[in-house]
Amino acid sequence: MIQSIQYLRFLAAALVVLYHGTQSLSKDLHSTLFETWHAGSRGVDLFFVISGFIILHVTERSNASRGAFLLRRMTRVAPLYHAATLAMLAVALVAPSLLATTRIEPGHVIASLLFIPVDHPVAFSAFPLLPVGWTLNAEAQFYVLFALLLPLAPRARAVGVGGLILGLVLVGIALRPENQTLSSWTAPILIEFVFGLILGRLWHDLPPSRRSPGGLAAALALLGVGVAGLVLVPGEATSGVLLRDLRWLLAGLPAMAVVGGLLLLDRQGRIPTVPALRLLGDASYSLYICHFFVIGLLRAVWPRAWLGTWTSEAGFLAAALALSVVAALATHLAFEKPIGRMGARRRAVAA
């Protein structure tokens, strides 16, 4: 795994934890000191760009069939997500009062497990039963589109998948479907996967970079522009229809700049090896899934603390991040890794 990507995966997940932590403080615990930190939601934009890059990178010299590719991706993504979704279902059945915006409908539960975006029973959205899973619905769609063109040569494959995504987005812009499934499958945010594909092609097609003042300056400039863009994107970029349509531009391009800047530093050998960060990068998927439950539990017990003081509310955020990381590491080591090894053995036997 490329080190810069590994470290960035953890950073992206941590940003989402802080976004949901401040959101919970502001909306659920009625904080007067913290507002929702919308910049944290840009972790999702980083994830989508990273995903486009990784999928192109790992298949560059692979001869895997469509079925083998999809099986490998689903083995990686589905077990933990399905376990978390079933845990969410159990909470909704046993203690529905804890989930104000959740109502159990069999069709919605099945669609959630199949990565199909459908109308939410309560909220006007395509959120699955586990709300953070909306990004996994987009990931699954990207995997299917990539698998369709997997037999093509690598460069043609990247161009073809990018063309398919842009075509779907144009259809969505033209038709403005009200159906949540069609709206999700044609959402402009899918363009961020294309940004990752572009970076992947540049990584493989350009000659290795040598260390030089100019190369360092270019990488730092990309990083600076990208970070500034991610932080300065207005919170409304994920709400109003027009601005939501422009998220790929307002947040996706800065995310591409951040990923590109770190990759450029990596090509120049400027990214140090930090085993702890590599492990956190490995656990980033668990962090993304687990933090939803950790923040939910904290939200239930934290009002016993003295809310309304800086130390208490900052403590909530610190606890949310720290406990989410601990839960993620435990889940990664006790669940993800064993499942991954089991899947690898089964693939080896099938081959």
- Whether 307 contacts 31, CB under 8 Å: yes
Can you give the pLDDT at residue 140?
A: 98
Can you give the pLDDT at residue 282?
A: 97
Can you give the pLDDT at residue 92?
A: 84
Can you give the pLDDT at residue 267?
A: 93
Compute the distance between CA of residue 270 and CA of residue 90 in angstroms, rounded to an integer: 47
DSSP secondary structure letter of residue 130: S
Can you give the pLDDT at residue 202?
A: 96
Can you give the pLDDT at residue 347?
A: 62
The counts of H helices and E strands in the chain are 16, 0
Compute the distance between CA of residue 69 and CA of residue 53 in angstroms, rounded to an integer: 16
- DSSP, residue by residue, 227-250: HHHHHHS-GGGGTSHHHHHTHIII
Phi (first) and psi of residue 128, to 5 degrees: -75, -175
What are the boundaries of each domain within the chain?
A: 3-350
> Residue 95: how many CB atoms within 10 A of its CB?
10
Residues 6+ apart with CB under 8 A from 180: 117, 118, 119, 120, 125, 126
Compute the distance between CA of residue 193 and CA of residue 171 in angstroms, rounded to an integer: 17
pLDDT tens by residue, 288-344: 999 999 999 998 888 766 666 777 889 999 999 999 999 999 999 999 999 988 877
**The two structure tokens encoding residue 112:** 């959630």
- Whether 201 contacts 56, CB under 8 Å: yes
Can you give the pLDDT at residue 97?
A: 64
Q: Which residues of the chain have pLDDT under 70?
A: 97-101, 235-244, 304-308, 346-351
